[in-house]
Amino acid sequence: EPEVTQTPSHQVTQMGQEVILRCVPISNHLYFYWYRQILGQKVEFLVSFYNNEISEKSEIFDDQFSVERPDGSNFTLKIRSTKLEDSAMYFCASGSGGPAHEQYFGPGTRLTVT
């Protein structure tokens, strides 16, 4: 069964460094999303992406963040100049845009900023 994959599973970085989180969505899906979950808290939306551009973004998704679909398979989230409060689990999700518009999540990347 097709699934969303994410790499790395765990990333440790120092404050102020840049990180790139990578995702491979399900191949025939058209809609892509990034969410994050700070430890013990609820899942929060960051950004959605469709037709090679950002569709929606939350107030969390400020100039520190960017997304890119550099080729036909990868979908990346870049965080410039990481802060301690960026430590969280980052989930990529993709959807086919079918009637339910259900979103399938990857296993997540746990980002730890020290």
Partner 1 sequence: AQKITQTQPGMFVQEKEAVTLDCTYDTSDQSYGLFWYKQPSSGEMIFLIYQGSYDEQNATEGRYSLNFQKARKSANLVISASQLGDSAMYFCAMRERSSGNTPLVFGKGTRLSVIA
Footprint on this chain of partner 1 (rule: CB under 8 A): 30-31, 33, 35, 41-45, 48, 50, 55-56, 58, 89, 91, 93, 95-97, 99-108, 110
Give the chain's count of helices (H) and strands (E): 0, 11
Minimum distance from CB of 53 to partner 1 (Å)? 10
> What letters, b where the CB count within 10 A reaches 16 and e where it falls short, cover 70-109?
eeeeebebebeebeeebbbbbbbbbbbeeeeeebbebebb
Residue 45 DSSP one-character state: E
Minimum distance from CB of 52 to partner 1 (Å)? 13
For residues 21 and 93, which CB has a smaller minimum distance to partner 1 in the complex?
93
Minimum distance from CB of 23 to partner 1 (Å)? 13
